[in-house]
Chains A and B, each alone.
Chain A
Amino acid sequence: MSKRYEIRFSGAGGQGLILAGVIMAEAASIYEGLQAVQSQSYGPEARGGSSKSEVIISDGPIDYPKATIVDALLALTQEAADKYSVDLKEGGVLLIDSELVTKQPKGNFKVVSFPITSTAKNEVGREIVTNIVALGAMVALTGMITRENAEKAVLARVPEAFLELNKKAFNIGYEKALAAQA
């Protein structure tokens, strides 16, 4: 059977998690030549409420499109961290926003943390790119997709006027995760 790698982006509605998952999956499927399925679940609210986006990446056909045992988890709220860290695989990786998730979940997984939202706001310049900062970090931590291919996927998704902003967000996220992991 083919190997599955499962990634979950979780937090609140409005944080751009679904788009982050879509870009990750596009990078894998279109640019990296792997198979990928992206799915999501969210509440009826436009903002707030819980939101999650899942990406399964594999070298073969993907049957079950949802996560079973998560290899890599992003949590942008305390609620998401508490609720989903139990699904993490032993040896998996959890990325959290250090300012939004103050109680670190414990388990047989690696925790990487940095102030993701603040980084977007203060270092990139716009809070709205929090998801792209997080995506850059997840690309670095999962190692499933090359940095170049992921960046291509990001840039293919954003309007012309915001290319530089998103490029910066992606790369800062990527670097910060590597630094935080060390």
Chain B
Amino acid sequence: MGKKVAFLQGNEAAAHGALYAGCNFFAGYPITPSTEVAEVLSAELPKIGGKFIQMEDEIGAMAALLGGALAGSKALTSTSGPGLSLKQELIGYGCIAEIPCVIYNVMRGGPSTGMPTGPSQSDVMCAKWGTHGDHPAICLVPASVQETYEEVIRAFNLSEKYRTPVMVMPDEIVAHMRERIVFPEKGEIEVIDRKAPTVPPEQYKPYDTSFGDVPPLAAFGSEYRFHVTGLNKMQDGFPTTKAAVVQEEEERQVRKVEGNVDDIVKFEEYLLDDAEIVVVAFGSTSRSARYAVNEARTEGIKAGLFRIITYWPFPEKQLLALAQRGVKAFITPEMNLGMTHGLVKGCTEGKAPVLGIFRVDGEPINPGQILDKMKEVK
């Protein structure tokens, strides 16, 4: 029997990916260009006994998301730039309280209300630094409908495995375009669930590091009773200002992600073996880049593509290795004013020039622009 195929939007694929991963709770507030995720899940979740709730605003939605996730659900919200800004306070809460959940954010023009129906890639810094303080950050940036489906599953897996909020950030083009998708069979893609406590309720501590950097999480409201706060906390969940504990806890929270970059960082290398010009791109822009690389090759230009799939943690090690191997130049096309450009410059330590192509007019970067930039490289 053939696999089930469909012709879907990125957002619709995201909703179905969430269901595959075991999502049984959605809390959100509709916003262009992400609303289709809520639309699909409002129809599908009740069928499987899940819960869908439209809250009064984006902060309320984030609060409901954390509550649902803490109570044992696999929880998703979807939003776009202005909504992401509003959620930030509670995203930080999710990081410090270590609550696994997935935030799907479609990047549209910004700042503020910006261009609601225009594509953008300018929320990537907000994914890491939108909420204040040191905290772990994972952000995945799919480039196709199929990959959006799969990356949403991976986002759930990473959030459960590392007990932390994870973001998936397609740009508006990926979120709204339609492509053929082949659905995986049940069991074909691994689905990870959070570690449950192995101790009886009276011995349970929600941040018990004797189980490693990622302590087991009991369902809040079950017979396991514990305290949750946004303050720096001890292993039993109660607040502390004890210097050594706070230092160690902060470092552990960040280490959950930074100590496991090889497990989390995902990328694709295309024609890089002999590449003298390396385009570093993600999302829909990486599709323009691949087109441009193919064109360049027919003209005898040795170009290749490094496609970012995990934006945070940033693939610093891989890009530095490319720079050390020796390339003539990196090119960073992106629908923002240089966010990735700065990161690539930083991690390649000046070993090769980094040329940027920045666009914030609501139009995609076309292959011709990238090809022209390649020709500027001497």
Q: Residues of A at under 8 Å CB distance from B?
A: 1, 22, 25-26, 29-30, 35-44, 63-66, 68
Q: Could you say which of B178, B288, B366 contacts A25, with CB atoms under 8 Å apart?
A: B178
Contact indicator A63/B298 (Cβ below 8 Å): no
Q: Could you say which of A22, A44, A63 contacts B117, with CB atoms under 8 Å apart?
A: A44
Some 15 contacts from A to B, beta carbons below 8 A apart, are A1-B294, A22-B7, A25-B7, A29-B180, A35-B180, A36-B7, A39-B177, A43-B117, A44-B116, A63-B294, A64-B366, A65-B173, A65-B284, A68-B366, A68-B367
Which partner residue on chain A sits nearest B298 by CB separation? Answer: A1
Q: Which residues of A contact B366 (CB under 8 A)?
A: 64, 66, 68
A-B pair count, CB < 8 Å, reads 59
Q: Which residues of A contact B180 (CB under 8 A)?
A: 29-30, 35-36
Contact indicator B288/A64 (Cβ below 8 Å): yes
Known contacts A44-B116, A64-B367: A37-B291 contact under CB 8 Å: no
Contact indicator A38/B178 (Cβ below 8 Å): yes
* B195 in the interface (beta carbon within 8 A): no
B176 to chain A, nearest CB (A): 6
Q: Residues of B at under 8 Å CB distance from A?
A: 5, 7, 32, 116-118, 173, 176-180, 284, 287-288, 290-291, 294, 298, 364, 366-368
Known contacts A30-B5, A30-B7, A44-B116: A39-B176 contact under CB 8 Å: yes
Contact indicator B291/A26 (Cβ below 8 Å): no
Which partner residue on chain A sits nearest B118 by CB separation? Answer: A41
Contact indicator A42/B117 (Cβ below 8 Å): yes
Report the Cα distance A43→B32, complex, angstroms: 11
Contact indicator A44/B32 (Cβ below 8 Å): yes
Q: Which residues of B contact A22 (CB under 8 A)?
A: 7, 178
Contact indicator B177/A41 (Cβ below 8 Å): no
Q: Could you say which of A29, A38, A66 contacts B364, with CB atoms under 8 Å apart?
A: A66
Q: Which residues of B contact A66 (CB under 8 A)?
A: 173, 364, 366
Which partner residue on chain B sits nearest A45 by CB separation? Answer: B117
Q: Could you say which of A25, A36, A40, A44 contacts B176, with CB atoms under 8 Å apart?
A: A40
A103 to chain B, nearest CB (A): 26
Q: Which residues of B contact A25 (CB under 8 A)?
A: 7, 178
A131 to chain B, nearest CB (A): 16
Known contacts A63-B291, A64-B291, A65-B284: A37-B177 contact under CB 8 Å: yes
Which partner residue on chain B sits nearest A34 by CB separation? Answer: B180
Q: Which residues of A contact B177 (CB under 8 A)?
A: 37-40, 65
Which partner residue on chain A sits nearest B288 by CB separation? Answer: A64
Which partner residue on chain B sits nearest A153 by CB separation? Answer: B7
B90 to chain A, nearest CB (A): 27
Most A CB contacts (10 A, CB to CB) among B7, B117, B176, B284 go to B7
Which partner residue on chain B sits nearest A49 by CB separation? Answer: B117
Q: Which residues of A contact B118 (CB under 8 A)?
A: 41
Q: Which residues of B contact A29 (CB under 8 A)?
A: 7, 179-180
Known contacts A26-B7, A44-B117, A68-B366: A63-B178 contact under CB 8 Å: no
Contact indicator A63/B288 (Cβ below 8 Å): yes
Closest 7 CB pairs of A and B: A63-B291, A39-B177, A38-B178, A64-B291, A63-B290, A63-B287, A26-B7
Most B CB contacts (10 A, CB to CB) among A36, A44, A66 go to A66
Q: Which residues of A contact B294 (CB under 8 A)?
A: 1, 63
B170 to chain A, nearest CB (A): 12
Report the Cα distance A122→B284, complex, angstroms: 42
